[in-house]
Amino acid sequence: MSYIDYSVEIRSLNFDSKFKIESIYDGIKKIIIFQKNDNKDTWIRFFIEEKIVEPEIARKLTKKAMENILNKIAFNTANYIGIPMIRSEITKKSSKGYGKIKSVRTLCKKTDSQELNEIFNCLEKNYEKESFYFELYRSALQIKNEIARFLFLYSILFDLINSDKKKSSQGNVDDFIRNQNKNVKEKKTTRFNKEYLETIYTYYRNQVSHTNENSNIKEIRNKITNLVDKLSKLVKVAIKRKNLV
Tell whether 68 and 177 lie within a shared domain. Answer: no
Tell whether 136 and 117 lie within a shared domain. Answer: no
pLDDT in tens, 27-84: 999 999 999 865 578 999 999 999 998 989 999 999 999 999 999 999 988 888 999 9
Tell whether 162 and 65 lie within a shared domain. Answer: no
Tell whether 99 and 156 lie within a shared domain. Answer: no
Provide the domain limits for residue 223. 130-241
Tell whether 140 and 117 lie within a shared domain. Answer: no
Tell whether 79 and 136 lie within a shared domain. Answer: no
Single residue among 122, 154, 187 that ends a domain in this structure: 122
Q: How many domains does the chain have?
A: 2
**Residue 45 phi, psi dihedral angles, 5° rounding:** -105, 125
The stretch 164-191 carries a mean pLDDT of 95
Who has greater pLDDT, 26 or 243? 26
Tell whether 221 and 137 lie within a shared domain. Answer: yes
The stretch 108-134 carries a mean pLDDT of 80
Whether the model pTM is above 0.75? yes
Tell whether 138 and 212 lie within a shared domain. Answer: yes
Tell whether 167 and 118 lie within a shared domain. Answer: no
Tell whether 104 and 136 lie within a shared domain. Answer: no
Single residue among 122, 144, 159 that ends a domain in this structure: 122
Single residue among 122, 150, 179 that ends a domain in this structure: 122
Tell whether 80 and 135 lie within a shared domain. Answer: no
The residue among 96, 2, 4, 101 whose CA lies nearest residue 59 is 4
Tell whether 76 and 142 lie within a shared domain. Answer: no
